[in-house]
Amino acid sequence: MGQFLIAIAVLILVPSHLVWMIERNHEDGIIRHKSYYPGIFEAAWWTASCLATQSEEMPKTVIGRFMAVVWMFFAIIFTAYVTAALTANLTLQSLRGDIQGPGDLPGKKVANLAGSTSEDYLKLNKTRAVPFETINKALEALEAGKVQAVVYDAPILAYYANNEGKGNTQLVEPIFRPESYGIALQNNSAFRRRINLALLKIREDGTYDTLRTKYFGDQSSQ
């Protein structure tokens, strides 16, 4: 937005000075004051009016009129560009939804699993948590429009968004609070080394990434 406002200021100030210099010495010119102030303000008003395609007065000098035609043609293109950009931005926001990260959750009804770390996170961040007994019920509530988002373990949500919920839901990054999964074994289990070696192997040969993409979609940040 800041860059857009700077661009508008430049687009008004540069032509304004040209109009002021061209028209200020003409007896019936659109600039009534020969002095810089308030003459430049008159020129800026005319330039801004042209940019908004609302100008009702044309310069009196030949050079001024030529400049006015060029500037009005540019104003039409500029207006069309701004309209298209705003329409595209609003359409993109509509497609993406109004929740793009943790900062958008306060004030929304957010489903979670009762008693989970997700529920703790939502309460700490002053978000209206709606607990469910199972994650499946939470996801059903999302599909039915009863809640606006679901916060839970990323792999489970990624699997849902890439399968049953594909086309109706989307996974929003980033991961709010990284947590690790583990495999529980008995002390001194003979399977510990075999499991670790198997996990290391599938990571090294690319099998892990292939399986992750297949079931969870392209979630490279996980």
Q: What b/e sequence results for 56-77 when a residue is b if at least 16 CB atoms lie within 10 Å of its CB, and e otherwise?
A: eeebebeebeebbeebeeebee
Could you list the pLDDT tens digit for every one of the 222 residues in the chain? 566 677 777 777 877 888 878 777 777 767 777 778 888 888 887 787 776 666 667 777 777 777 777 777 777 777 777 777 666 555 444 434 567 777 778 878 888 888 888 888 888 877 888 999 999 999 999 888 898 889 888 888 888 888 888 878 877 777 777 777 788 999 989 899 999 999 999 999 999 989 888 888 765 444
Give dist(CA 202, CA 186) in Å, integer: 24
Alpha-carbon distances of 199 from 109, 205, 220, 221, rounded to whole Å: 38, 10, 18, 19
Could you name the CATH architecture of 102-216?
A: 3-Layer(aba) Sandwich (3.40)
* pLDDT at res. 179: 73
Alpha-carbon distances of 187 from 184, 190, 194, 196, 199, rounded to whole Å: 9, 9, 14, 15, 19
Neighbours of 33 (CB within 10 A): 14
Strands (E), 104-195: 109-113, 128-132, 149-150
Beta bridge partners of 111: 130, 150
What residues does each domain of the chain span?
A: 2-96, 102-216
Amino acid at 187: N
* pLDDT at res. 202: 93
Same fold, 2-96 and 102-216: no
How does strand 149-150 pair with strand 128-132? unpaired
Q: What is the pTM of this model?
A: 0.47
Give dist(CA 217, CA 163) in Å, integer: 9
Alpha-carbon distances of 57 from 28, 31, 43, 64, rounded to whole Å: 11, 11, 11, 12
Is the CATH number of domain 2-96 1.10.287.70? yes
Give dist(CA 167, CA 98) in Å, integer: 17
The answer to whether 29 touches 60, Cβ cutoff 8 Å, is: yes
